[in-house]
């Protein structure tokens, strides 16, 4: 049985690592803070003190980290994966980061005879827990086929999108659509509230028709309840929309709607909501509208 390494046991990484373990793989784990490492060790995973040690013990090494500099550091930095990895291994980054950075990392690992896949996901923490994530993969088709059995423990819809970076490029398309759905959800709820309707009843009615979306149906009710606990953190959406802007600037592609959402979520982060869930976007729009959802 292939030994799998997992680095970055946060909101997404911890349930994803649990799925691999419960599928029967031998798992070696590492993360910055110790509580999730201890939790996985109690379930049977082996602890490693650095990414280098994980890489030395595993043939498939997965990272699930916040941003591009984190992935670069964990893969290519001191005591990083590149120092311990053996030729023939596959490193899979499942974080959402810059496609250009993924191409750079792939190039460095290729020099060591190591394959690299960028394999970002959608489906939220719920999908991570149930093993139903969508996984969009960039890299060689051969490495994709070899990694597929491990990816199948975490996801259902797993698609090879092209060479290195194309998984992340697909994820950026996803984030454009998600952001605009999020804004649409906030505006529909604000209108419902200001017009004197019951916003939850409106979500129920319109959510099953043409206006329905994951954002409306899942985050809409939380906006109304003022439940801003994170599934997907504001700071991560700020990061993703920064990457969207880098990519669209390189492609000379004007995307007006997503640029507006990027400014709004940056304002939300500056108001102290960085570690809250993205449904907190409603608070910025409420300030602009001088109307709080649920008030008269």
Ligand X SMILES: NC(=O)c1ccc[n+]([C@@H]2O[C@H](COP(=O)([O-])OP(=O)(O)OC[C@H]3O[C@@H](n4cnc5c(N)ncnc54)[C@H](OP(=O)(O)O)[C@@H]3O)[C@@H](O)[C@H]2O)c1
| Catalytic annotation, pick one of 171, 239, 287, 296 | 171
Out of 79, 125, 134, 218, which residue is the one contacting ligand X (CB under 6 A)? 125
Rounded to the nearest 10 degrees, how much is the dihedral formed by the CA atoms of 244, 247, 249, 250?
Answer: 180
236 binds ligand X (CB under 6 A): yes
4 binds ligand X (CB under 6 A): no
Tokens of 154: 């975490």
Stretch that binds ligand X, among 27-35, 81-89, 144-152, 198-206 (CB under 6 A): 27-35
| 171 classed as catalytic | yes
42 binds ligand X (CB under 6 A): no
Closest by Cα among 293, 279, 283 to 219:
279
Rg (CA), the chain: 20
Residue 31 or 185 having the CB closest to ligand X: 31
Closest by Cα among 5, 11, 215, 16 to 129:
16
Considering only residues 51 through 110, tell me which ones interact with ligand X, judged by CB under 6 A. Answer: 64-66, 70, 73-74, 95-96
CB of 252 to ligand X, least distance (A): 26
9 binds ligand X (CB under 6 A): yes
168 binds ligand X (CB under 6 A): no
CB of 211 to ligand X, least distance (A): 22
19 binds ligand X (CB under 6 A): no
Contacts of residue 146, defined as CB under 8 A and 6 or more positions apart, other chains included, come to: 90, 115
Contacts of residue 294, defined as CB under 8 A and 6 or more positions apart, other chains included, come to: 193, 199, 224
Collapsing DSSP states into helix, strand and coil, what is residue 123? Answer: coil
d(CA 4, CA 210): 42
Residue 51 or 199 having the CB closest to ligand X: 51
Residue 45 or 202 having the CB closest to ligand X: 45
Out of 2, 3, 11, 100, which residue is the one contacting ligand X (CB under 6 A)? 11
Read off φ and ψ for residue 9, nearest 5 degrees. -100, 60
Q: How far apart are the first and last CA of the chain?
A: 61
Closest by Cα among 99, 97, 143, 96 to 117:
143
d(CA 61, CA 84): 11
Stretch that binds ligand X, among 231-239, 257-265, 266-274, 284-292 (CB under 6 A): 231-239
Out of 4, 5, 8, 189, which residue is the one contacting ligand X (CB under 6 A)? 8
242 binds ligand X (CB under 6 A): no
Interface positions with ligand X (CB under 6 A): 7-13, 31-33, 64-66, 70, 73-74, 95-96, 121-122, 124-125, 231-233, 236
């Amino acid at each position: 049985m292939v030994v799998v390494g997992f680095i970055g046991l946060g909101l997404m990484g911890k349930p994803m690592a649990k799925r691999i373990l419960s599928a029967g793989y031998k798992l070696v784990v590492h993360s910055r803070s110790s509580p999730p490492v201890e939790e996985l060790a109690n379930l049977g995973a082996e602890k490693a003190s650095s990414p280098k040690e994980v890489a030395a013990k595993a043939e498939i090494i997965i990272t699930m980290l916040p941003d591009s500099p984190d992935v670069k550091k964990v893969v290519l930095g001191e005591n990083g994966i590149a120092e311990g990895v053996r030729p023939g291994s596959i490193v899979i980054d499942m974080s959402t980061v810059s496609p250009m950075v993924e191409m750079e990392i792939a190039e460095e690992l290729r020099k060591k005879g190591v394959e690299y896949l960028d394999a970002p996901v959608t489906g939220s923490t719920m999908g991570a827990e149930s093993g139903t994530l969508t996984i969009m993969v960039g890299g060689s088709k051969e490495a994709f086929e070899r990694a597929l059995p491990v990816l199948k423990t975490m996801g259902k819809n797993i698609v090879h999108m092209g060479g290195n970076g194309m998984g992340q490029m697909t994820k950026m398309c996803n984030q454009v659509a998600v952001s605009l759905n999020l804004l649409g959800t906030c505006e529909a709820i604000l209108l419902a509230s200001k017009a004197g309707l019951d916003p939850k009843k409106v979500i129920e009615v319109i959510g099953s028709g043409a206006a329905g979306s994951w954002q409306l149906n899942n985050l809409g009710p939380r906006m109304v309840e003022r439940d801003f606990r994170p599934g997907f953190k504001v700071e991560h959406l700020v990061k993703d929309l920064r990457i969207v802007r880098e990519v669209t600037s390189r492609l000379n592609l004007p995307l007006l709607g997503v640029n507006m959402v990027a400014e709004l979520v940056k304002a939300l982060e500056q108001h102290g909501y960085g570690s809250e869930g993205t449904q907190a976007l409603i608070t910025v729009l409420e300030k602009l509208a001088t109307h709080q959802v649920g008030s008269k």
